[in-house]
């Protein structure tokens, strides 16, 4: 008789990335993955490895990261959520929801779209309550020029200019479905959506958009940087503290 598969749970979570070395377990410090797996072991009495939808870097935050875990017990979703949150205190990680899902669900490979938010505070005064959670840019930025330059990057392109030198993706080609620049007072939001992103792609794009907003680059400079397919033509890489993994979309489960 075939063995019944272990129940699989989808975890949706948020975290402040400031104290962590990133999402993925590493030997040089505490990661978000390690915090959750330690809580799972304390709650469930078993060692569990989780898989996340995206590997956020050191200092990057999440509003809607998704992970999945296979557990031996069929937990009630709200009990699992609350139990994990209790065991993760005082770390700035919170399970927003837990749900039992089919074993065909994979937090990374079942994702059809990832949404990122980058936050800029554009003012002369230093940061106080937002320190560590936004990028402070003191030079006046033209958000309309940044939006126009963002349009150059929409669609399917070779994004070699905007990928980290250590990026392990097999291809630099990605389809950027959304790239919007929205100003609200002194805060500028940059919203990016795609099925997947290259390592440091969003932060590289944001840094280059800052060059356009400050007048250092023109829209044609952005086009030339994209067409060059050369990392050396990228603008500065925006700091990690302004970046948030905002949401991950999933399609309907496959018919089995």
Q: What is the pLDDT of residues 68-119, one digit of tens each?
A: 999 998 899 999 999 999 999 999 999 999 999 999 999 999 999 999 999 9
Q: Please name the helix (run of DSSP H) or strand (run of DSSP E) that holds residue 153, with its range, or none.
A: helix 143-153
Half-sphere exposure of 240 (CA within 13 A, CB side): 18
User: Of 109, 137, 164, which residue sits at a domain end?
Assistant: 109
pTM over 0.85: yes
pLDDT averaged over every residue in the chain: 94
Q: What is the pLDDT of residue 255?
A: 53
- Selecting among 16, 57, 180, 221, the annotated active-site residue is 57
Residue 251 pLDDT greater than 90, yes or no: no
Here the CATH number for the domain that contains residue 153 is 3.30.70.660
User: Of 58, 74, 109, which residue sits at a domain end?
Assistant: 109
Contact 103, 253 (CB under 8 A): no
Half-sphere exposure of 40 (CA within 13 A, CB side): 23
Q: Are residues 89 and 128 in the same domain?
A: no
What whole-number distance in Å separates Cα of residue 199 and Cα of residue 168?
Answer: 8
Q: Are residues 148 and 225 in the same domain?
A: yes
For the stretch 199-219, pLDDT in tens is: 999 999 999 999 999 999 999
For the stretch 137-161, pLDDT in tens is: 999 999 999 999 999 999 999 999 9
Task: Tell me whether residue 249 is one of the annotated catalytic residues.
Answer: no
Numbers of helices and strands, H then E, in the chain: 5, 10
Here the CATH number for the domain that contains residue 27 is 3.30.70.580
What whole-number distance in Å separates Cα of residue 13 and Cα of residue 64?
Answer: 6
How sure is the predictor about 254, in pLDDT bands with cuts at 50, 70 and 90?
low
**Among 25-29, 39-43, 84-88, 126-130, which is the least confidently predicted range?**
25-29
| Residue 203 lies in domain | 112-247
């Amino acid at each position: 008789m075939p063995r019944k598969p272990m129940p699989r749970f989808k975890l949706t979570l948020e975290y402040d990335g400031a104290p962590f070395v990133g999402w993925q377990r590493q030997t040089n410090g505490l990661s978000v993955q390690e915090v959750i797996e330690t809580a799972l072991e304390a709650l469930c009495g078993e060692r569990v490895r989780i898989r996340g939808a995206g590997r956020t870097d050191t200092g990057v935050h999440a509003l809607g990261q998704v992970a999945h875990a296979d557990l031996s017990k069929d937990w009630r979703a709200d009990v699992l959520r609350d139990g994990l949150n209790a065991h993760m205190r005082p770390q700035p990680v919170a399970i927003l929801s837990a749900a039992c899902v089919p074993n065909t669900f994979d937090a990374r490979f079942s994702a059809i779209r990832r949404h990122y938010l980058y936050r800029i505070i554009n003012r002369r005064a230093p940061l106080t309550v937002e320190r560590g959670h936004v990028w402070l840019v003191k030079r006046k930025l033209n958000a309309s020029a940044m939006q126009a330059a963002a349009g150059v990057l929409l669609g399917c392109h070779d994004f070699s200019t905007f990928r980290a030198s250590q990026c392990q993706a097999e291809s630099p080609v990605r389809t950027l479905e959304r790239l919007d620049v929205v100003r609200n007072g002194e805060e500028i939001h940059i919203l990016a959506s795609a099925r997947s992103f290259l390592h440091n792609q969003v932060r590289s794009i944001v840094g280059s958009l800052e060059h356009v907003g400050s007048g250092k680059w023109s829209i044609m400079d952005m086009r030339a940087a994209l067409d060059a397919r050369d990392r050396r033509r990228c603008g500065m890489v925006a700091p990690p503290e302004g970046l948030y993994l905002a949401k991950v979309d999933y399609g309907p489960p496959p018919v089995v």
